[in-house]
Structure 1
Amino acid sequence: MSESDRPEPGFSPERLAFFTDAIFAIAMTLLAVELERPDEQELASTRALGSFLVHERDSYLAFALAFILLWSVWRRHHKLMDRIGRLSSAFTAWHAPFLLLVAFLPFPTAVIGASATNPLADTLFAATMAAMVCCEAVIREISHRTGLTTGDPADTRHQADGSWAVGAWFLLSAALAWLLPYAFVLWFLAPLASPYGGALISRLRGPHPESRDVNAPRP
Structure 2
Amino acid sequence: MSGPVRPEPGFSPERLVFFTDAVFAIAMTLLAVELARPEEKELASARALGSFLVGHRGSYLAFALAFVLLWSVWRRHHRLMDRIGELSRAFTAWHAPFLLLVAFLPFPTAVIGVSIGNPLAQTLFAGTMAAMIFCEAAIKDIAGSTGLVTGDPAQTRRHAGDSWGVGLWFVLSIGVAWLFSYAFVLWFVAPLAATYGGALISRLRTSPAGHADPYDGDAPRA
Query: TM-score over 0.5 for the alignment?
Result: yes
Counterpart in the other structure of 1:76: 76
Q: Which has the higher contact order (CA 8 A, sep 6+)?
A: 2
Query: Identity of counterpart residues, as a percentage?
Result: 76
SS in 1 for 2:185: helix
Counterpart in the other structure of 1:197: 197
Matches for 1:63-212 after TM superposition, within 5 Å: 63-205=63-205
SS in 2 for 1:200: helix
TM-score normalised by the chain length of structure 2 = 0.90
Give the number of aligned pairs.
208
Answer with 62-71 or 191-200: which moved more. 191-200
Counterpart in the other structure of 1:215: none
Counterpart in the other structure of 2:39: 39
Does the 8 A contact of 1:166 with 1:191 survive in 2? yes
Shift, 1:193, TM fit: 1.7
Q: Which runs of 4+ in 1 moved over 2 A?
A: 205-209
In the alignment, the residues of structure 2 paired with residue 3 and residue 183 of structure 1 have an alpha-carbon distance, to the nearest angstrom, of: 57
TM-superposition CA deviations, 1:73-95 (whole Å, max 9, x none): 00110000000000001100110
In the alignment, residue 153 of structure 2 is paired with which amino acid?
Answer: P
Does the 8 A contact of 1:154 with 1:208 survive in 2? no
In the alignment, the residues of structure 2 paired with residue 5 and residue 92 of structure 1 have an alpha-carbon distance, to the nearest angstrom, of: 19
In the alignment, the residues of structure 2 paired with residue 107 and residue 191 of structure 1 have an alpha-carbon distance, to the nearest angstrom, of: 23
In the alignment, the residues of structure 2 paired with residue 185 and residue 55 of structure 1 have an alpha-carbon distance, to the nearest angstrom, of: 20
In the alignment, residue 142 of structure 1 is paired with which amino acid?
Answer: I
Shift, 1:191, TM fit: 2.8
In the alignment, the residues of structure 2 paired with residue 42 and residue 158 of structure 1 have an alpha-carbon distance, to the nearest angstrom, of: 51
TM-superposition CA deviations, 1:28-71 (whole Å, max 9, x none): 01000000000000000111001000000000000011001101
Counterpart in the other structure of 2:24: 24
Does the 8 A contact of 1:129 with 1:167 survive in 2? yes
Counterpart in the other structure of 1:58: 58
In the alignment, residue 107 of structure 1 is paired with which amino acid?
Answer: F
**Which ranges in structure 1 are unaligned for 5 or more consecutive residues?**
210-219
TM-superposition CA deviations, 1:94-114 (whole Å, max 9, x none): 100000000000000000001
TM-score normalised by the chain length of structure 1 = 0.91
SS in 2 for 1:35: coil
In the alignment, the residues of structure 2 paired with residue 206 and residue 43 of structure 1 have an alpha-carbon distance, to the nearest angstrom, of: 60
In the alignment, the residues of structure 2 paired with residue 19 and residue 180 of structure 1 have an alpha-carbon distance, to the nearest angstrom, of: 39
1:141–1:176 CA distance, 2 compared to 1 (3 A): same
Does the 8 A contact of 1:69 with 1:191 survive in 2? no
**Which ranges in structure 2 are unaligned for 5 or more consecutive residues?**
210-222
Shift, 1:204, TM fit: 1.6
Q: Pairwise CA RMSD of aligned residues? A: 1.5
In the alignment, the residues of structure 2 paired with residue 93 and residue 202 of structure 1 have an alpha-carbon distance, to the nearest angstrom, of: 24
Shift, 1:157, TM fit: 0.4
In the alignment, residue 115 of structure 1 is paired with which amino acid?
Answer: S
SS in 2 for 1:9: coil
